[in-house]
Amino acid sequence: MQPASPDTVPYGVLALYGAFFVWLATFMSGFRSKPGKGMGYGPFVLLGLAIALFINVRYLFEGLPAGLRFFNGVYDVFINLGGNFTDGKLPPNVVRCDNGQDCTVWGENYYDHHAAWAVAFYRRFQPGADSMRSTVLYIHLICNSIAFFLVHFQLMYPGGIKGNEWHPVLGKICFYSASIGTMCAFYMFSEHDSVPEHTWARGGGRGGDWPPRGGGRWFI
């Protein structure tokens, strides 16, 4: 996929922000509804599932690079919010894409500075990147999406009721999917020591030690 043109506005990202506001509204509606009346938290749960699947499933149809560009574009708004960045005075956690705007869906006339970890994240999975790493990320996304969907389905339709004999089977699928997805996450996390942007975020400074010191965002 070609880098975004200077005036590109990612309407998909804007639609996702709109969906988040609607999601919050459904939560407030569920919180204010009386037990046994109205739809409760049903719309909140269903919309949350739809948003999660929209974010994850797009990787399967668009590929990892395009999916990561969209993912980074969601964060760009917050990274640039209130910022007045110049290349000579950038904080260490804010950088440009390696090649124009190839790491985001925003045009450079809107947001041309990005979180360092987001640029590094895209770099690790860009076209031509390690195939094993890309395969592990696909497995991670698929398994986590399955587990996330099934855990909500299991809560909405609990076991012990007539006509729900599949509950134990779905529970096992959910457990194994979550376990495999977590193992894939640990595998990818094990490579973070070779990525300066991730070790900076994790340990509070470039090449930060483990365990983190200084409250770094080690989980990114």
Average pLDDT over every residue of 1-9:
63
7-16, 21-30, 203-212 — which one is most confidently predicted on average? 21-30
Identify the CA nearest to 76 among candidates 173, 176, 8: 8
> What is the percentage of the chain residues whose pLDDT exceeds 70?
74
Task: Find the mean pLDDT for residues 146-160.
Answer: 80
Length of the chain: 220
- Residue 162 in this model has a pLDDT that exceeds 80: no
Residue bearing the bigger pLDDT, 79 or 175: 175
The pLDDT value given to residue 121: 85
pLDDT in the model for residue 207: 43
Q: Is 85 exposed, middle or buried (0-12, 13-18, 19+ CB in 10 A)?
A: middle
Give whichever of 3-7, 66-70, 165-169 has the largest mean pLDDT: 66-70
Kindly write down the DSSP assignment for every residue of 105-128, as one continuous string: SS-TTT---EEHHHHHHHHHHSTT
Whether the model pTM is above 0.75: no
Give the whole-number percent of the chain exceeding pLDDT 90. Answer: 15
Residue 216: the pLDDT is 38
How would residue 180 be classed by pLDDT, with cut points 50, 70 and 90?
Answer: very high
The pLDDT assigned to 220 comes to 36
The better pLDDT of the pair 158, 96 is held by 96
Domain ranges of the chain: 1-127
Q: Cβ distance 70 to 58 under 8 Å? A: yes
Pick the more confident residue, 130 or 147.
147
Q: State the burial class of residue 18 (Cβ atoms within 10 Å of its Cβ: 0-12, 13-18, 19+).
A: exposed
For residue 101, the 8-state DSSP code is T
The pLDDT tens digits for 36-83 are 666 667 788 888 888 888 888 888 888 888 888 898 888 888 887 766
What pLDDT score does 214 carry? Answer: 40
